[in-house]
Amino acid sequence: MTRPLASIVGAAETTRLGVLPDMSELDLHADAALNALADCGLTPADIDGIATAGENPAMLAQYLGITPTWVDATNIGGCSFMTHVAHAAAAIRAGLCRTVLITHGESGRSRVGHVPWTVPPHSLMGQFELGYTPTMAATLFTLPALRYMKTFGVTEEDLARVTVVQRQWAGFHPRAFRRDPVTIDEVLASRMIAWPFRILMCCLVTDGGGALILTAPDRAADFPTRPVDVIGTGESVEHLMITEMKDYTSSRAFRVAGDQAFAAAGIDRADVDHLMIYDAFAHVPLYGLEALGFVKPGEAAGFIADGHTAPGGRLPMNTNGGGINYMHSGMYGMYALQEAVRQMRGTAPQGAQVRDARISVVQGVGGMFGTAGTVILARR
């Protein structure tokens, strides 16, 4: 393993998660930021680098009273926060700043102070997709799935099983939105959203936020929390319009970002103890397991069916229940990072905590399956 790129010394979600009609999006950012600052004993005056997506970082700086020397507004969808971690680590190493705050807040369900995603009719998406009335991510992000299923003989039951297994993990998390055990039959009987996707195969739409604080590895011991080292990062983008995804059975953005992160970390797939794959929809963990090299193309559904990603399995995956069960405000990446930090700190809830987990891989996705960010974390 190479030496750490940066260390996460503060991490927290918003005080509450779920349905929060009394919180504006900006206040979700602030609540998460203040919780993360309190986590590591800092105040806004200690922060000299900020990154966020959705909200304008200038508004965030103004609202929190931060005067940064480094700022990153990268917004490539729900994996933006993975890229913020990568960029922050590089900025800290380059001496542009010392202590970085990354925030996420989103009133995805209650839509209080929400910045909507709009697609102008003169954009390429507006011209060549909107006329066919795709209504939400559930009809665009999901479009490759049938081709993947036909190519590899993957069934609707296989998609449903992704939810079933991740619900087992959610059952351990008091803050998870959906916690009760669920069966494949129940998933397949749930309301149809966009065939072959039923509502229990789709991410939640909830309110919440989260924040991280990063610093240089040699400063990490000065903080009260157990440091979590960032040992590898990667990012890529392939497309915004799903018709420009070259191979409907494998995400190029996933492969490029993942390979870059593993190369930076200098580790093998076999070294990984814990995995988070941003599951906007039930097919994404299948693509992720294959693109990241944990299994060969077409093997992911069987890998999950054999129990390897479930509690007690050899590659625990999406141990908070994922965006399908735990929390999903629209940009889920922050929550995947939060769970990975809890696992590396050893502070995940009883039952969900993976014993002796030392290395966690967090895979983010954004846009309509077209962007990716990978972060590899290590326990110190």
Partner 1 sequence: MLRGSLPEPTPQTAWFWDATRRGELYVQECTACGGRHFPPRPFCPACGGREVTALKCSGRATLWSYVINHMVPKGGDGPYVVAVVRLEEGPLMMTNIEGCPQTPEALPLDMALEVVFEPVSETITLPKFRPAADSNGAGA
Q: Which residues bind partner 1 (CB under 8 A)?
A: 116-117, 119-122, 124, 126-136, 138-140, 142-147, 150, 191-197, 241-244, 248
Cβ atoms of 308 and 296 within 8 Å: the answer is no
Report the relative pairing of strands 371-379 and 359-366 from DSSP bridges: antiparallel
Of 278, 226, 220, 271, the C-alpha closest to 5 is 220
User: Taking the complex as a whole, how short is the minimal distance between the CB of residue 123 and partner 1, in angstroms?
Assistant: 9
Please say which residue, 142 or 318, places its beta carbon nearer to partner 1: 142
User: Taking the complex as a whole, how short is the minimal distance between the CB of residue 176 and partner 1, in angstroms?
Assistant: 25
User: Taking the complex as a whole, how short is the minimal distance between the CB of residue 195 and partner 1, in angstroms?
Assistant: 4
What is residue 141's DSSP assignment? T
What residues contact residue 66 under an 8 Å CB cut-off, 6+ apart? Answer: 44, 45, 47, 48, 50, 60, 101
**The residue type at 370:** G
Please say which residue, 144 or 171, places its beta carbon nearer to partner 1: 144
What is residue 281's DSSP assignment? B
Cβ atoms of 319 and 144 within 8 Å: the answer is no
Please say which residue, 15 or 123, places its beta carbon nearer to partner 1: 123
Please say which residue, 62 or 243, places its beta carbon nearer to partner 1: 243
Please say which residue, 98 or 114, places its beta carbon nearer to partner 1: 114
Helix axes 333-345, 80-94, angle to 10 degrees: 60
User: Taking the complex as a whole, how short is the minimal distance between the CB of residue 101 and partner 1, in angstroms?
Assistant: 30
The C-alpha atoms of residue 171 and residue 175 are separated, in whole angstroms, by 9
The C-alpha atoms of residue 380 and residue 176 are separated, in whole angstroms, by 27
User: Taking the complex as a whole, how short is the minimal distance between the CB of residue 188 and partner 1, in angstroms?
Assistant: 14
Give the bridge partners for 376, in sequence order: 232, 361
Please say which residue, 56 or 190, places its beta carbon nearer to partner 1: 190
User: Taking the complex as a whole, how short is the minimal distance between the CB of residue 193 and partner 1, in angstroms?
Assistant: 6
